[in-house]
Structure 1
Amino acid sequence: MRPTSSSAPRRVLTVCLAAGVTTLLDQAVLTIAVPSLRQSLGASAGDVQWIVSGYSLAFGLTLVPGGRLGDVRGRKHLFLAGLSLFLVCALIAATGTRAETVIAARLLQGAGAGLVNSQVIGTIQDVFQGQERARALGWYAVTGGVSAALGPALSGLLVTLCGGGTGWRLCLLLSTPCGLVTLWLAARRLPKPARTAPDGGLDPLGLLCVAALTLSAMLPFITGGPPLAWLAAALVSAAALALSQRLRVRRGRAPLIHPALTRSPRYGLGTLVAMAQFGSSMAGTVVLALFLQSGLGLSALTAAGITALGAASMGVSSAVAWRVVRRLGDRTVTVGLTLGALTLLAEALAATVLSPAALPYALAALQLSSGAASGLAVSPNQARVLHHAPAEAAGVAGGILQMTQRVSAAVCLSAVTGIYLRGASEEPRRAFAEACLVCAGLLAVAVGVCLGLPRTGGGTGARVAGEAGVEGRASREGV
């Protein structure tokens, strides 16, 4: 339903952007506070992995069913319910005295965030049309960049000023004031609930298969166990997902993954690139924060300053990425991914050969390179992927892209932090180097996928450049 007054769309966009800041800030705000949280709760390595990855997991798995519910039931009530769940669980997590309580609260909080953001995307599509819609989605992407830059810095500041025991709890409450204001604004400004699509069902079996596949990839790094058993579970989950989607289509019901998306090689391969880049970036940032504090003994504020350099560099790089796309076309993404992989290799080498005194300065300089690489890869690839989404699946393509990115983040955070935490007690520098090599390997795979993609002509490159220009300054969140 479109607002009737000319100022109403701007008011709706304000609510959507505030919701984006509230929920996306919360994903980044624990980056620096993890060591303090672990010490305060006496959390195990597995607990830490669940705390940092559970939010992304629940966030991603809620996006697609949340969007479909909004289509058939109306968005406003779901937005308010999701944000209320997010705020309540933030309070539970911040006051928790056991790791298990924090894990459960973060999982539910991520589900609330996914429900909110799926309504945000749908509301923008309902209210805005044409270039106005592209501009609104671009501003929504900018909120992710602001959150990525502010999250670690504010986290480090709170831990430094309030101490480790209280600081991490305040980090979990950091987005609460903004969330309360957003809840009040949403109740007043969002359009009344209206059905925008027929009820095609939620495909709970498909979502269950995706969750099982994700957990089969995560749990080996958290709980251990025979790798072949987990591999078998993953293969069974993937086969069950494919079968369930085919059966659902045959019965004339909407599947979780639109069939047209599976028939579009450029969309599928571009999504794989986004998953590898997003997972590598999220995991690399968290492991760097852990290493700077627990491995090198730096303060939370110093660690926040180093990681903030990467976020600032990405903001600048994203702002000019569309100009680079005009010159290099699709190769811009390949250049960004290659630069990111080389930067991670340099971080691994620096951790191995440099002295403890010189290493923080080297890592700070390399963060500038890492941020620039992400800026060249994230927004242009997102624009390219969505540009090549089939027209009949354009409405769900963005939701699937976001879901796969956050599922990738959950898996990569579990795997890479597990690699670091298992070796950090004895040789933290070696453990950090190994984690960097894994992240570099992910980007190398993405580079290989990019090189295998057929090049587009100049016209397509120009259109993608235009989309990237609108979405400049896109976030680490990849939204």
Structure 2
Amino acid sequence: MTSAPTSDPTRTREQDQERSRWRALAVVMAAGAMTLLDVSIVNVALPTLRVGLNADDSDVQWIVAGYALAFGVALVPMGRLGDARSRRTVFMIGVALFTLSSAAAGAAPTPWVISIARVVQGFGGGIITPQVSGFIQNLFQGRDRAKAFSIFGATIGLSTAIGPLLGGLLVALGGESYGWRLVFYVNVPIGIAIILVARKLLPASAPSKGRQSLDPVGVLLFAVAVVLVLYPLVEGGQGEPLSARPWWLLGVAAALGLAFVLWERLWRRRGKETLIDLDLLKVPAYVFGLSLGTFYFAGFTAIFLVTTLYLQVGLHYTALQAGLTTTPFAVGAAVSALVSGRLVERLGRWLAVIGLVMISAGLVLIDLLVPHLSGMVGVKLAPAFLLAGLGGGLVVTPNVTLTLAEVDPVHAGSGGGMLQTAQRVGSAIGVAVILAQFFAALASTKGDYAEALSMALRTTIAFIGVALVFAVADLLRRTGHDRHPEPQHAAPDPEPRHAA
């Protein structure tokens, strides 16, 4: 009689560790998707939110821009905090903060309460996002790491795609008076579930032995400077001329910006880590890519806001119909993003140039069509949104890859963090500028939403045009560099592209 074969303990342990890694990835992906979903899902709820809370144009701008600003400012210091402390603990704190602020936003009785809740929510998102990248870096190596980051990229695309649809469904379910609250409340059960499983499935990590500098003074100076830039753009009564706004605050913001740069140099001379890595600003590829991403997000983020206001308030579309109208953009972006990852090594910066031209063409087409459309407007705009979306998918991921390609691997983490920060701050400022113009045009044309949308789209196209200038400039630089190669001081790391 033969004995039953015994299993290999080592192999069993490795299989258990493999399953644990992918389960942990599922947990952090769920949290990352929640923060990204909250960007697009809120857009379709804004018109009903305005009615439900009697919110004015300024409130709407703060609700959107405040989230993006807090998110961007928190990214770099919270990434370092995760490195210095238990990443699992920092992650769970971020999820708890995001969940509680979502509940507060859903229960908000006044516009200023929801504005504050959105800032806290953005800060929570800024805590979560760098931990997602950090867990992937810590849990996976080689091909598994590339696969994990690909899943992360797909999650971003999927979250963006289903956001408007889910938002529209929730608004339809809850009605005009309660539907916008469901858009925030939906985060609460998701957040609670993530917290419950995170402690069990996420690995504990020991605090870093080296002391991490969070640069609190730099963070404060940077945040206050950006808020002072936003304030005159956002604060203004209906019908109030733009000239009456407190533009003098821009001078104060410029002074604080200079103080920020001087502080960063002083902080660095003391041997501390600064909020921005000044050495990265000496790398041409990084400067061009950072500038491209900032202006692209300044234009890109506001497209859906002004389109939603035009459709729901101007044409009386339901939230679900508005969400369906912009879905082709998200679908196109998801498809082309998958393709661009395979083409970036062959086409390089040409991908961004082609993508930005396609986005501009799609937006110009929308601008030309809107004044002449009647009946089934969403269906007629779908091809233009699809064209713009296909272009958008060629911009973001290739830009991160190419921007970090010439960066010393030692600085890849801070480089990725700075890129995300610039994108979020660009989003906040772009939303403030474009929505201010949209509402000003609405007042001057006595409620002509088509004309207001056209004017806002032209500003959006201008932002994307500036991004295109940086893309072409970097393309020409790289072409000249190929013809006259210079010695490389540091070999590019094949993985920094995933740091962001």
Task: Give the TM-score taking structure 2 as reference length.
Answer: 0.88
Distance (Å, rounded) in 2 between the aligned partners of 1:417 and 1:246: 35
How far apart, CA to CA, are the structure 2 residues paired with 1:226 and 1:232? 13
| Alignment equivalent of 1:368, drawn from 386, 394, 402 | 386
Give the whole-Å Cα distance in 2 for the aligned partners of 1:202 and 1:69: 7
- 2:367 match: secondary structure: helix
Q: Which residue, out of 151, 174, 183, partners 2:195?
A: 183
Distance in 2 of aligned mates of 1:195 and 1:334: 43
Distance 2:191 2:35 in 1: 8
* Paired residues of 1:159 and 1:167 also in contact (CA < 8 A): yes
Equivalent runs, 1:370-449 vs 2, <5 Å? 370-425=388-443, 426=446, 427-449=448-470
Residue aligning to 2:304: 285
Give the counterpart of 2:285 among 258, 262, 266: 266
Question: Sequence identity, in percent?
Answer: 34
| Separation of aligned partners in 2, 1:94 and 1:158 | 13
Hey, what's the Cα distance between the residues in 1 that align with 2:381 and 2:253? 36
Q: 1:272 to 1:17 in 2, by over 3 A?
A: same
Deviation at 1:315, TM superposition (A): 1.1
Gaps of 5+ in 1: 472-477
Map 1:17-56; keep pairs closer than 5 Å: 17-56=29-68
CA distance in 1, matches of 2:246, 2:381: 33
Q: Is the 8 A contact 1:159 1:300 kept in 2?
A: yes
Contact in 2 for aligned 1:3/1:127 (Cα 8 Å): no
Q: For the Cα contact (< 8 Å) 2:38–2:163, is it kept in 1? A: yes
1:148 alignment partner in structure 2: 160
1:388-415 deviations in Å (ceiling 9; x for gaps) = 3232211211111111111111111121
Distance change >3 Å, CA 303–CA 467, structure 1 → 2: farther
**Cα separation, 2, equivalents of 1:216 and 1:439:** 22
What corresponds to 1:450 in structure 2?
Answer: 471
Q: Name the CA distance, whole Å, in 2 between partners of 1:103 and 1:48.
A: 8
For residues 94-123 of structure 1, the C-alpha deviation after alignment (integer angstroms, 9 at most, x for no partner) is 011101111111111111111111222222
Shift in Å at residue 467 of structure 1?
7.6
Output the amino acid matched with 1:418.
A
Question: Is the CA contact 1:350–1:359 (under 8 Å) kept in the aligned structure 2?
Answer: no
CA deviations 1:50-76 (Å, max 9, x no partner) are 111211111111111111111112211
- Within-5 A mapping of 1:219-298: 219-224=231-236, 225-226=244-245, 228-298=247-317
Letter in 2 for 1:102: I
1:227: Cα distance to partner? 6.4
Per-residue CA distance 1:180-223 (angstroms, 9 max, x = gap): 22111211111113123621321111111221232132112112
Query: AA paired with 2:213?
Result: G
Question: What amino acid is the match of 2:458?
Answer: L
Contact 1:90 1:172 in 2 (8 A): yes
CA spacing shift, 1:323–1:132, aligned 2, 3 Å: closer
- Report if the CA contact (8 A) 2:285-2:404 is conserved: no
Letter of the 2:478 partner, please give it. R
SS in 1 for 2:274: coil
Q: Distance in 2 between matches of 1:367 and 1:467?
A: 32
The one of 78, 92, 96 aligned to 1:80: 92
* Residue of structure 2 equivalent to 1:313: 332
1:199-214 equivalences in 2 (<5 Å): 199-214=211-226
Judge conservation of contact 1:22–1:176 (CA < 8 Å) in 2: no
Aligned alpha-carbon RMSD (Å)? 2.5
Conserved 8 A contact 1:50-1:103: yes
Kept in 2: contact 1:295–1:424 (CA 8 A): no
1:358, distance to aligned residue in structure 2 (A): 6.3
Determine helix, strand or coil for the equivalent of 2:43: coil
Q: C-alpha distance in 2, partners of 1:322/1:82?
A: 30
Higher relative contact order (CA 8 A, sep 6+): 1
Shift of the 205–278 alpha-carbon distance from structure 1 to 2, 3 Å rule, reads same
Q: Name the SS of the counterpart of 1:32 in structure 2.
A: helix
Aligned match of 1:474: none
Q: What letter is aligned with 1:211?
A: A
Q: Which amino acid in structure 2 is aligned with residue 61 of structure 1?
A: V
The one-letter code of the counterpart of 2:369 is A
Query: Which sits farther off after the overlay, 16-25 or 230-239?
Result: 230-239
Which stretches of structure 1, 4 residues or more, deviate above 4 A after TM superposition?
Answer: 224-228, 456-459
Q: Distance in 1 between matches of 2:473 and 2:15?
A: 45
Please, which moves more after superposition, 208-217 or 11-20? 208-217
Amino acid of the structure 2 residue aligned with 1:374: G
SS at match of 2:44: coil
Aligned: 1:169 with 2:192: no
State how far apart, in whole Å, the 1-side matches of 2:317 and 2:49 are: 16
Is the Cα contact below 8 Å between 1:15 and 1:182 reproduced in 2? yes
Alignment-derived partner of residue 354 in structure 2? 335
Aligned counterparts of 1:249 and 1:114: Cα–Cα separation in 2:
24
Residue among 91, 95, 119 paired with 2:103: 91
Secondary structure of the corresponding residue to residue 91 of structure 1: helix
1:10-49 CA distances to partner (integer Å, 9 max, x unpaired)?
1221111111112211121111110000000000100000
Deviations 1:245-278 (A, max 9, x none): 1101111111111232122121121011111112
Q: Secondary structure at the match of 1:389?
A: coil
Cα separation, 1, equivalents of 2:429 and 2:103? 26
For residue 69 of structure 1, what is the aligned residue in structure 2? 81
Deviations 1:311-346 (A, max 9, x none): 111111112123443553321111101111222222
- C-alpha separation in 1, matches of 2:212 and 2:131: 17
Count of residue pairs brought into register by the alignment: 466
Matching residue of 1:57: 69
- Secondary structure, aligned partner of 1:163: helix
**In structure 1, what is the Cα distance between the partners aligned to 2:150 and 2:256?**
35
Is the CA contact (8 Å cut-off) linking 1:3 and 1:191 kept in structure 2?
no
Specify the structure having the higher radius of gyration (Cα): 2
d(CA) in 2 for partners of 1:361, 1:449: 34
Partners of 1:423 and 1:8 lie apart in 2 by: 54
Q: Which consecutive residues of structure 2, in runs of 5 or more, have no partner in the other structure?
A: 1-13, 237-243, 486-490
Match of 1:9 among 21, 29, 32: 21
2:210 equivalent in structure 1: 198
- CA distance, structure 1, for counterparts of residue 263 and residue 370 of structure 2: 46
Distance 1:397 1:164 in 2: 43
Q: Distance in 2 between matches of 1:125 and 1:324?
A: 24
Deviates more, 1:436-445 or 1:265-274: 265-274
Report SS of the residue matched to 1:376.
coil
